[in-house]
Amino acid sequence: MISGLPRSAKYGIIIGIGIPGLLFLLGITSYVFSSVRKYHRRRHERVGTSSGVLRVTIAPPSPFVMGLNRPTIESYPKTMLGASRRLPKASDNTCPICLCEYEAEETLRTIPECNHYFHVNCIDEWLKVNGTCPLCRNCPEGSA
């Protein structure tokens, strides 16, 4: 007969099987709940909590940048404007990029292929993205 077991042994069995089973059930339910919650959260804000779901993708500037790299841009000749604001090669005295007139003692950069002048800051930003002269777009020399 099973009832031959002492009362304490029965309690032992209940505790030994019941409590781990209960914990196991709790674990499963909380796991299911948290994954459901995570799923919803991911749908809403794409930023998870515990595991490595924190994958906020910062878009790279642009995968297909056709611009020039820094050393190439730096290799283009710079011209420091004197107080007379006279360009070495007489041409427009406005920057074609920002449409501002060149001020005295500003630094300009020349594109060697076409001898066009721009503000250093303007043309640097431009060349980083484009790589061609904004005025003539890589025109061969002398067509301007």
In the complex with Zn ion, the residue whose CB is nearer, 87 or 136, is: 136
> Would you count residue 109 as binding Zn ion (CB under 5 A)?
no
Instruction: Show the DSSP H helices in 3-143 as ranges.
Output: 7-13, 19-45, 70-75, 120-129
Window contacting Zn ion (CB under 5 A); options: 3-11, 13-21, 33-41, 116-124: 116-124
Window contacting Zn ion (CB under 5 A); options: 3-11, 34-42, 102-110, 115-123: 115-123
Window contacting Zn ion (CB under 5 A); options: 6-14, 21-29, 86-94, 127-135: 127-135
Per-residue DSSP letter, 44: H
Other C-beta atoms lying within 10 Å of the C-beta of residue 79: 16
> Would you count residue 98 as binding Zn ion (CB under 5 A)?
yes
Task: Identify the residue among 102, 110, 116, 117 touching Zn ion (CB under 5 A).
Answer: 116
Task: Label residue 95 exposed, middle or buried (CB < 10 Å: 0-12, 13-18, 19+).
Answer: buried
Other C-beta atoms lying within 10 Å of the C-beta of residue 12: 12
Site residues (vs Zn ion, CB under 5 A):
95, 97-98, 114, 116, 119, 122, 133, 135-136
